[in-house]
Structure 1
Amino acid sequence: MTSAPAKPAVSPSDRFRSVQRRTLAVLSAAQIVGGVGVAVGLALSSVVVDELSGSTVISGFAGTATVLGAALLALPTAKASGMGGRRAGLSLAYVAALTGCAISVLAISLGTWPLLLAGLVLVGGGSAGGLAARYSATDLAPKERSARHLSLVVWASTIGSVAGPNLAEPADRIGMRLGLAEKAGPFAFAALAFALALVVIVGFLRPDPLRLAREADGRRAGETGRTRTISTAWQTLRTTPMARRALVMIAVSHTAMVSVMSMTPVKLHHDGSNLDVIGLVISLHIAGMYVMSPVVGWLADRAGKVPVLILGSALLLAAAALAGTAGHRVWQVTAALVLLGLGWSCGLVAGSALVTESVPIERRPAVQGLSDLLMNVCGATGTIIAGVIVGLLGYGVLGLVVGVMVALAGLWLTLVRRRGGPAAA
């Protein structure tokens, strides 16, 4: 009697590939539903704050509160990831966003805008989770495909970002039918979206990609979680010049993008464009940010991360030049916003992949968290400074200032790369 042939053993590389495919699917699903929550909540936040406070100036703090929340939650998310893996970090971010939506619903019901702003700070956890998810896609990715895997998760944000604002009005009608205050429905719907994203992460992000990658690298889970996140990140950056360059380019790309994008609706409105035109321009800008991200990821893996960062700087410079000289030409503003989105995509995808591959795996969550913190702080600062520049000097001067900033950063990166030779590339 012959025994049945033994099943062939599964190699570690085959197991990693299988887990990585599942990880990408789970992260993409969470990005879609979480992105809906972010977009629905942001669609009406400034309008609601304006109505509750009676002040257009105060309404501007709605967007600032959300960006500030994303910045404040970046390091706790990284800390939780360092201690318990990606599932713990992403869960923390989505729980914060869910709590923020509940507080926002309560604030609207009570008619108090300070409480609503507090809730919006926690809603920023949704953005923090979305940013952290892109790094989660690289833990088990082969080095030659890290940018592509990261870009797939970034691309998944497109669906939520586009669909979310269109769901705000139906959510408001349903909310009022259920007895909620006017304009509280979208925040309740956003809470459901974040809850679903939380279920997806907790229930299906198994095995945890960061824990598995650490095991393969011989590291103990939570090994760096007991250290201080910021000090760990700064110590790593001091000895990793390539990671420093990546962080600078991510921050510059994001600052340039949000500075011009945040003031473009105001510029178009002052030029006499209606809401349909403004909405179309912003939609095309969002498409530029996300739709081409898989192509950007492929290019970063094939041509190199630093060349794509330089390409992103060139696109951002072209966008700033077009925006600054557009005058009343809507088509030129639209072209500028599309290029602005593409340049941002190059900076985010290539920069994030370069950060990941430049630092040891046990220090990645700390450096990645610091990257997201700086990115959001620079973004929030950029919107404030952009408003001052446009208010005092005009939209054209904003284009000039952003162009100079991007040109200096791109020139610096190019010169550093040439001095460093092949190793710097």
Structure 2
Amino acid sequence: MTADGSRAAHRATDQRRVLRVLVAAQVLSGAGLAAGITVGALLAQQMLGGTALAGLPSALFTIGSAAAAAGVGRLSDARGRRRGLTVGYAVGALGALGVVAAAVTGSAVLLFASFVVYGAGTATNLQARYAGADLAVPAQRGRAVSRVLLATTLGGVLGPNLTAATGALVAPWGIPPLAGPFLLAALAYAAAAAVLAVLLKPDPLLLARELSTAEAVLVPDPAASPAVASTGSVAVGALVMIVTQLVMVAIMTMTPVHLIDHGHGVAVAGVVIAVHVAAMYLPSPISGWLVDRLGPLPVAALSGATLLAAAVLAATAPAGSVPLLTVALALLGLGWNFGLISGTAILAAVPLSVRARTQGAVDVTIALSGAVAGLASGLVVAAAGYPALSLVGAVIALAMVPVVAVAQLRRASPTV
């Protein structure tokens, strides 16, 4: 075997190990993330004796997630993915323990402060997808990202199903049952941190830098690789993920309200959202394959088209048609998945010297766009109704398509 072949084999072995460790950590952290979010608003409502501030945990959680995204990105940039992700999950675990302590003591101030800290877990969970692509060759970046993203689904399905069990488990200890899922979240985040701290070796980002510095990288310049010939700029990758987050969060947030307002029960709304969440993550292997086969920009355009179809269907579906709204929400989740994986693949080509901090900064804007969408969606529905909100989402999704198309043309023809 030639020297180049030997280095390629070692790199592939290291990448497989990195992905195995990341998948294990994501299963754990997904359980912690989903378990806590499921009952956050209910716990606040119970402690405060009303619904006026029940939505505040979600807002504080998002703020904490945005701040942590920047912090984890910068720490990863300076000390490597292992250190950045480990610290991020450890901070998320402390936040979850703070929520439990707040529930036991009845302290609303501690509760809200802890939700800000707890948001670090979500930011870290999302940042882990970038680590999966650090050592991947350009032709396999989409699939690497998709494996990490899909692993979160396994934990995300497990976590909410343990809500009742954890509540019953902690009740004899004097802990309010609704705080039980946060104890699970603390354990899950701590376990994810331990897995990464002990097993994420070699560090994918640091190793990629070493290989690059030693001129041992086997992959040619991304611009010359057919698999990533359509890779756009950081701005385009960020735009794709921000738009997908805006449209998805806005329509998803108000769909249960729309269903309940038109006579459907909470169980029906729950099924529709469950289908939506499944569509957000389960197609990841297909999305990753498409990104590697076609390039990120064509899949980003497909994301815009899919979100457009979802929004138009949601706007035009009769309020009593649960099947049509279910299809609309499934398309909404699929469009989000296309956008997240294609956008992540674009950012995976950022120069190694600033890769992690750039990715962290982009994730800050993604988190903030989700917060804005969630807040604005209620105002739009109150003023003009759910169909109007969906049509606004359709316009935003449609606007993304020509932007991506222009980026594709410029990439193919630099003189354009």
TM-score between both structures, scaled by the size of structure 1: 0.90
The answer for the alignment partner of 2:103 in structure 1 is: 108
The answer for the alignment partner of 1:184 in structure 2 is: 179
Counterpart Cα distance in 2 of 1:12 and 1:64: 47
1:214 paired to 2:205: no
- The letter for the 2-side match of 1:131 is L
1:199 paired to 2:190: no
Cα pair 1:251 1:375 within 8 Å, conserved: yes
Counterpart Cα distance in 2 of 1:378 and 1:331: 29
**SS of residue in 2 equivalent to 1:59:** coil
Q: Shift in Å at residue 102 of structure 1?
A: 1.0
Counterpart Cα distance in 2 of 1:96 and 1:392: 39
Cα pair 1:312 1:344 within 8 Å, conserved: yes
Cα pair 2:103 2:175 within 8 Å, conserved: no
Q: 1:381 aligns with which of 352, 358, 372?
A: 372
The answer for the alignment partner of 2:331 in structure 1 is: 339
Q: 1:352 aligns with which of 339, 344, 347?
A: 344
1:322 paired to 2:313: yes
Alpha carbons of structure 1 residues 392 and 9: separation in structure 2 relative to 1, 3 Å: closer
Q: 1:266 aligns with which of 254, 257, 265?
A: 257
Counterpart Cα distance in 2 of 1:390 and 1:403: 15
1:366 paired to 2:357: yes
Counterpart Cα distance in 2 of 1:348 and 1:95: 25
Counterpart Cα distance in 2 of 1:150 and 1:424: 32
Cα pair 2:232 2:407 within 8 Å, conserved: no
Counterpart Cα distance in 2 of 1:416 and 1:362: 24
**SS of residue in 1 equivalent to 2:23:** helix
Q: Shift in Å at residue 112 of structure 1?
A: 2.5
Counterpart Cα distance in 1 of 2:208 and 2:45: 47
The answer for the alignment partner of 1:223 in structure 2 is: none
Alpha carbons of structure 1 residues 61 and 208: separation in structure 2 relative to 1, 3 Å: same
The answer for the alignment partner of 1:41 in structure 2 is: 36
Q: Deviations over 1:361-417 (max 9, x none)?
A: 111111100111010010001100011101221111100111111111212222343
Cα pair 1:162 1:283 within 8 Å, conserved: no
- The letter for the 2-side match of 1:210 is L
Counterpart Cα distance in 2 of 1:420 and 1:346: 20
Q: 2:384 aligns with which of 371, 390, 393?
A: 393
- The letter for the 2-side match of 1:345 is N
Q: Deviations over 1:203-251 (max 9, x none)?
A: 11011111111111118xxxxxxxxxxxxxxxxxxxx961111111110
Cα pair 1:261 1:337 within 8 Å, conserved: yes
Counterpart Cα distance in 1 of 2:392 and 2:49: 33
Q: 2:145 aligns with which of 147, 150, 153?
A: 150
Alpha carbons of structure 1 residues 12 and 419: separation in structure 2 relative to 1, 3 Å: closer
Alpha carbons of structure 1 residues 70 and 151: separation in structure 2 relative to 1, 3 Å: same
Counterpart Cα distance in 2 of 1:289 and 1:422: 33
The answer for the alignment partner of 1:402 in structure 2 is: 393
- The letter for the 1-side match of 2:322 is V
Q: 2:113 aligns with which of 118, 124, 128?
A: 118
The answer for the alignment partner of 1:232 in structure 2 is: none
**Equivalence map 1:86-97=2 (5 Å):** 86-97=81-92
Alpha carbons of structure 1 residues 424 and 390: separation in structure 2 relative to 1, 3 Å: farther
1:245 paired to 2:240: no
Counterpart Cα distance in 2 of 1:412 and 1:148: 25
Q: Shift in Å at residue 21 of structure 1?
A: 0.5
**SS of residue in 2 equivalent to 1:56:** coil
Cα pair 1:175 1:186 within 8 Å, conserved: no
The answer for the alignment partner of 1:62 in structure 2 is: 57
Q: Deviations over 1:313-345 (max 9, x none)?
A: 000001111111123211111111100000000
**SS of residue in 1 equivalent to 2:98:** helix
**SS of residue in 2 equivalent to 1:184:** helix
**SS of residue in 2 equivalent to 1:145:** helix
Counterpart Cα distance in 1 of 2:74 and 2:332: 32
Cα pair 1:139 1:210 within 8 Å, conserved: yes
Cα pair 1:38 1:123 within 8 Å, conserved: no
**SS of residue in 2 equivalent to 1:206:** coil
Counterpart Cα distance in 2 of 1:318 and 1:408: 13
Alpha carbons of structure 1 residues 424 and 44: separation in structure 2 relative to 1, 3 Å: farther
Counterpart Cα distance in 1 of 2:411 and 2:16: 36
Q: Deviations over 1:41-87 (max 9, x none)?
A: 01110011112223323111122222221111011101110111001
Alpha carbons of structure 1 residues 99 and 420: separation in structure 2 relative to 1, 3 Å: same
Cα pair 2:42 2:178 within 8 Å, conserved: no
Q: Shift in Å at residue 34 of structure 1?
A: 0.2
- Percent identity, please: 37
The answer for the alignment partner of 1:235 in structure 2 is: none
Gaps of 5+ in 1: 1-7, 220-239
- The letter for the 2-side match of 1:389 is V
- The letter for the 1-side match of 2:54 is S
Gaps of 5+ in 2: 215-230
Query: Which stretch shifts more, 291-300 or 182-191?
Result: 182-191
TM-score between both structures, scaled by the size of structure 2: 0.92
The answer for the alignment partner of 2:155 in structure 1 is: 160
Output the aligned Cα RMSD. Answer: 1.8
Cα pair 1:317 1:407 within 8 Å, conserved: yes
